[in-house]
Structure 1
Amino acid sequence: MLLAPITAQAQDSTPTGQSQLEADRAAGLAAREVEKEAAKVRKQQEEEAEKAAKEAQKEEDKAAKAAEKEARKAAKAEAEASEDKDKQARKAARNAEKDAQDKRDNNAAEASVLAAPLVATPDKADPDNILFLDLSTGGRVTIQLYPEIAPNHVERIKTLTRQGFYNGIVFHRVIDGFMAQTGDPTGTGTGGSDLPDVAAEFNKFPHLRGSVSMARAQDPNSANSQFFIVFYPRFSLDNSYTNFGRVIAGMEHVDSIPRGEPPATPARILQASLKSQNLPEPNYAAAGQPADRAISVDDLNAPITN
């Protein structure tokens, strides 16, 4: 009598167990689906995070490259500025050295002038050692000759002057800031007198403004009749060209000589004379005529260098 209810109970419990199993299976399936979706979301998040990290790294690398570029640019600018500063410093040092050398040269020149027992002062000088050049630029140039330092050259100038050799001769080579050259009867820079050349008499007297020095060719002993008047100090000529006199009055007429090699309209010596000859000055307005012909550059032979 007791078995029936037990069997019935067993029969009644079977459907309930199957339902629970199916529910568990469904729950497991749902859990797997949820896990699958969660994994998918995690993967997507990881990919997005990786992508964001790459983008961030890319931006960081870009910023680093830009910073490096700016650093190189700044370093280059600094190096260039430093180089410019060094150049300026070197230039300033060279200029300072040049100024110091010029000062030393000027001091040496002045000391040489003061120390050299050359000639008496112009107002007491021998009138036979005072040369007058009456120029077409409108006035008389007075030159003190120095036979004490260049006797043979002074004697040559005086001899040619007494002969009237220099009358009418042009200044065929005139370089601004350097000198005005004359004494060639051909006006080309290649001519001279019929007298023999004069041996060099190089001396310690400096080439200052107004110095009168003998022109020559490459041979130091080739001076003849050509000479030049210096516009500004040119100490590089010292001991290489024979300095034999200096302008003591009328330098403004030398400054007015037209420049050129040769000048388009050369100035000329209207009259050369010694003070001892006591010749009157010419009529500059009437006598100051241009050269008879233009002198070509091909005709010009430069006997001295600057």
Structure 2
Amino acid sequence: MPDAYGKRDRRIFWIAFLAGVAMVVGYAVYTLWPSSPPEVDTASLGDAPKVELTIAGEAEGKVVITLRPDLAPRHVERIVQLANDGAYDNVIFHRVIEGFMAQTGDVAFGKTDGNGGRAGMGGSSYPDLPAEFSDEPFVAGTVGMARSQSPNSANSQFFIMFAASPNLDGSYTVVGHVTEGFDVVQKIKRGDGPNGAVTGTPDVMTTMRVID
């Protein structure tokens, strides 16, 4: 009898141990490769505007971004202005890095009707914006404004994070969060090499509209 109880105890121990290992591994996978963005409390943002992107290519579907005028009022105003102008329509995702982010929004050279290989080098006809850095972290689903080495050079281009990247925190302007359609974002065609330049036929924002 004592031996039988010992075997049962050992079985219980190993079952509990393996279950614990599974939980730890599962948590690590979820943390490192999130399937959906962390929840963002957009209810507290009141009348924050939203934009809806229709994406075509390897990714097909709609993505809703809730903008953050509480963090970056000038940048949000620019995004809304360009969306209302129709400037973002038919702009490609020209730089997409696996496990990092997808960049788009070059309204000057990023159109699907031909860009001469200059996609990513342009902006809009409006002036560049002064930085509006904040303590908001860059996590999966965060939307940030692209810029050159100058902090005050953001204009029209933006990027959507696939995963957290703390090295960007406080150095780039957070302008919004994906609140619907992150599964579509994850399917955007990836680029090549360390710079993530997309070759062949890139995915495209066919439309971008203000919906709220």
Query: Is the pair's TM-score, using the shorter chain for normalization, greater than 0.5?
Result: yes
Question: Bigger CA drift: 254-263 or 219-228?
Answer: 254-263
Q: CA deviation at 1:265?
A: 1.8
Q: Is the 8 A contact 1:143 1:247 kept in 2?
A: yes
Higher helix share: 1
Alignment of 1:125-140 (within 5 A): 125-126=46-47, 129-136=49-56, 137-140=59-62
**In the alignment, structure 1 residue 223 sits paired with structure 2 residue 159:** no
**In the alignment, structure 1 residue 268 sits paired with structure 2 residue 204:** yes
SS in 1 for 2:91: coil
Alignment of 1:230-249 (within 5 A): 230-249=161-180
Deviation >2 Å, runs of 4+? 118-122
Q: Distance in 1 between matches of 2:73 and 2:54?
A: 24
Q: CA deviation at 1:138?
A: 1.5
SS in 2 for 1:155: helix
Q: Distance in 2 between matches of 1:273 and 1:184?
A: 16
Paired letter, 1:163: D
Q: Is the 8 A contact 1:162 1:273 kept in 2?
A: yes
Where does residue 134 of structure 2 map in the other structure? 203
SS in 1 for 2:128: coil
Unaligned runs of 5+ in 2: 1-27, 32-37, 111-118, 192-196
SS in 1 for 2:124: coil
Q: CA deviation at 1:153?
A: 0.5
1:183–1:135 distance in 2 versus 1, CA, 3 Å: same
Counting aligned pairs with the same residue, the percent is 45
Aligned pair count?
162
Q: CA deviation at 1:222?
A: 0.2
Tell me which of the two structures has the higher relative contact order, counting C-alpha pairs closer than 8 angstroms and 6 or more residues apart. Answer: 2
Where does residue 186 of structure 2 map in the other structure? 255
Q: Distance in 1 between matches of 2:188 and 2:199?
A: 9
Q: Distance in 1 between matches of 2:200 and 2:172?
A: 27
Q: CA deviation at 1:120?
A: 2.5
Q: Is the 8 A contact 1:202 1:243 kept in 2?
A: yes
Where does residue 184 of structure 1 map in the other structure? 106
Q: Is the 8 A contact 1:132 1:273 kept in 2?
A: yes
Q: Distance in 1 between matches of 2:157 and 2:167?
A: 19
Q: Distance in 1 between matches of 2:62 and 2:183?
A: 10
Alignment of 1:68-217 (within 5 A): 119-120=42-43, 125-126=46-47, 129-136=49-56, 137-185=59-107, 186-187=109-110, 188-217=119-148
Q: Distance in 1 between matches of 2:44 and 2:173?
A: 21
Q: Is the 8 A contact 1:119 1:146 kept in 2?
A: no
SS in 2 for 1:252: helix
Q: Distance in 2 between matches of 1:163 and 1:252?
A: 27
Using structure 1 for the length normalisation, give the TM-score. 0.50
Using structure 2 for the length normalisation, give the TM-score. 0.71
Paired letter, 1:228: F
Paired letter, 1:272: M
Q: CA deviation at 1:264?
A: 2.3
Q: Is the 8 A contact 1:192 1:226 kept in 2?
A: yes
Deviations 1:127-146 (A, max 9, x none): x6111111002211011111
Q: CA deviation at 1:244?
A: 1.1
SS in 2 for 1:204: coil
Q: Is the 8 A contact 1:173 1:263 kept in 2?
A: no
Q: CA deviation at 1:121?
A: 5.1
Higher strand share: 2
SS in 1 for 2:82: helix
Q: CA deviation at 1:119?
A: 4.8
Q: Is the 8 A contact 2:189 2:198 kept in 1?
A: no
Unaligned runs of 5+ in 1: 1-98, 103-109, 277-306
